[in-house]
Amino acid sequence: MKPRIIVCGLGSTGYKIFSLLRQQGAYVIGIHDRPIPGEDRDVVVGDLKAASTLKTAGIYEAHTLVLAGNDEALNLAILTQARVLNPRIRVINRLFNTSLGDRLDKILADHVSMSVAALAAPTFAFAALGNKAIGQLRLFNQTWPIHEEYIHEHHPWKNRRLSELWEDRSRMLIYYLPLKGQIDLVSAVICGQQLQEGDRLIIGSKPSIRNHRQSWLQKLLKVVTNLRQFKQHAQALAVITIVLFATIFISTLTYILTDLQTPFIDALYFSVGMISGAGGNEKVAENAPESIKLFTVFMMLLGAATLGIFYALLTDFVLGTRFKQFWDAARIPHKNHYIICGLGGIGVQIVNQLHNHGHEVVVIEKDPNNRFFNSVRSLGIPVILGDASLSDNLKTANLEKADALLAVTSNDMANLEIALTAKGMAPKLPVIVRNQEPQFASTIQEVFEFEEVLSPSELAAPAFAAAALGGRILGNGITADTLWVALATMITSGHPFCGKRVKDAAMDADFVPLYIETKSQTIHGWDLLETALGAGDILYLTMPATGLDRLWRVPSQVLANSDRAIST
């Protein structure tokens, strides 16, 4: 019997998760705080955190609870009430606060925290890099983009044997969809099936990491060559500094001309002491004419005022935001960089994704109190404080020589305005746009000819659905209304795959093996297919979500042990 899954909070993300689970054949019940048109049978309406509402939804019989709302406090309240009613229920919890999520995962059994921002950000980054990903896969401590290869008439893989692609470690074959007939990928690899026009192949590609990150010397040279930015951020300080030095010079020159016997050093020492108020070597002016004494009084007043203004501007520049703004502006790359507009939850995750893969990034953010400023600047990433829809700020970011721009603020209209401004300045620049409404994303992309218009909720929902279906989910993708999941499962003596050769289990269960971790080694390629699965092995595989019912027949204690073993 398929387990009951409850999805709590049917907003844009929650309803997408609910629909995907139902589409994949799962027994799913939704809970929402108001009626949803057309959803009367499988949706319970009521207070999400009320015990009565959870009981009506079948909390006692449920296997998994998905908390899909964007209110973290409410999700935690529902979590505590649900665990009181059913202590063994598995919980998939939507949390933006990853540190809180990590703590909950460690403290609570069968608790999985997931973040929409963290799940969606890699796809935005892949899109900026020119990869039209349909999903992602977490392998070998890297996020691999999943994409679909359509074999057309001129495709380089046409008539190539699938067995030739199987051994390539730079890619993982996920699934095979032949135009004619039905055959699983493992069978097609073993029999040497050739790719024909119209076939589709789902592939995970190993991410490439740039190694041309600039050295400290190159960064210093960049700052020196970008000193033109100093005028914008420190013009007032520069002017008052010139006035201060001019005052000292005029005073020194006046005292020397008054008495040619006065050494230059004595005149300079007296001038600086007079202006700063520290005093020193007063004999320079003691025997001077009255006009020079009046001149000294005037220069004292002028110097005190100038020095006061100088200290004030210097303090503001160094301790305030001006120096940071100047330093950020001076470090902006000249070319081949990525511009992130909006440093919210999605934006900061994209920044980390691109930075970790060796790409240079520039951030434009208009909120001076943004909570991610310090963390981004600590990575050495320049931040431009201003409105990204203004052409001057885009010019400062060297828009025309950038590799791509991503408009990912939390405001859809602001993202559209930023994207249109960027396209107007650099028509050939790839522009990736965030839009909260999935139904409008494709329309906006078609009308304005942006490279990609992506919805975070649309991107993250398959991952939540896959996690709700069970096992430790490593990645997912969706194509032609079919949800694909990648997962790791520990082979125990009671596992249905135990004792079978991998290729036999794969052909019977319609999954694609990625690799096996044994106690002593990792097995890939052709050796993987011939390996017999034994207790203690960890099998990494991909399969349609509709086939996960084979794992449901594994005792729950086996799955729990599998998750614990893999996490360690």
Q: Average pLDDT of 48-53?
A: 94
The per-residue pLDDT for range 520-555, each reduced to its tens digit, is 788 888 889 999 998 888 888 888 776 665 554 444
pLDDT digits (tens, 9 = 90+) for 252-309: 888 777 776 777 887 787 778 777 776 666 665 666 677 777 887 788 888 888 888 8
How far apart are the C-alpha atoms of 354 and 101, rounded to whole Å?
23
CA gyration radius, the chain: 32
Average pLDDT over residues 93-97: 90
- Answer positive or negative: Cα dihedral of 276, 278, 281, 286: positive
- Cα separation, 362 vs 405, in Å, equals 10
Query: 249-258, 279-288, 375-384, 499-508: lowest mean pLDDT where?
Result: 279-288
Residue 6: strand, helix, or coil: strand
Residues 6+ apart with CB under 8 A from 280: 269, 270, 273
pLDDT at 147: 82
Q: What per-residue confidence (pLDDT) applies to 317?
A: 63
Q: What is the pLDDT of residues 302-355, one digit of tens each?
A: 888 888 888 887 776 666 555 555 555 556 788 889 999 999 989 999 999 898
Give the tokens for residue 304: 């005190």
The answer to whether 214 and 266 have CB atoms below 8 angstroms apart is: no
Percentage of the chain with pLDDT > 70?
Answer: 83
> Which is more confident, 156 or 239?
156
Per residue in 257-289, is it b (16+ CB within 10 Å) or e — as a string?
ebeeebeeebbbbbbbebbeeeeebeebbeebe
Contact 538, 514 (CB under 8 A): no
The fraction of the chain above a pLDDT of 90, given in percent, is 30
Q: Parallel, antiparallel, or unpaired: how do β-strands 482-490 and 472-479 relate?
A: antiparallel
Mean pLDDT of 239-262: 81
In 3D space, the residue among 125, 118, 26, 23 whose CA is nearest the CA of residue 66 turns out to be: 26
pLDDT digits (tens, 9 = 90+) for 207-217: 766 655 555 55
Alpha helix ranges (H) inside 215-289: 216-225, 228-258, 264-276, 283-286
Model pTM above 0.75: no
Give Cβ neighbours of residue 196 (< 8 Å, ≥ 6 apart): 151, 158, 159, 178, 179, 180
C-alpha dihedral (303, 305, 306, 308), degrees to nearest 10? 120
Of residues 560 and 76, the one with the higher pLDDT is: 76
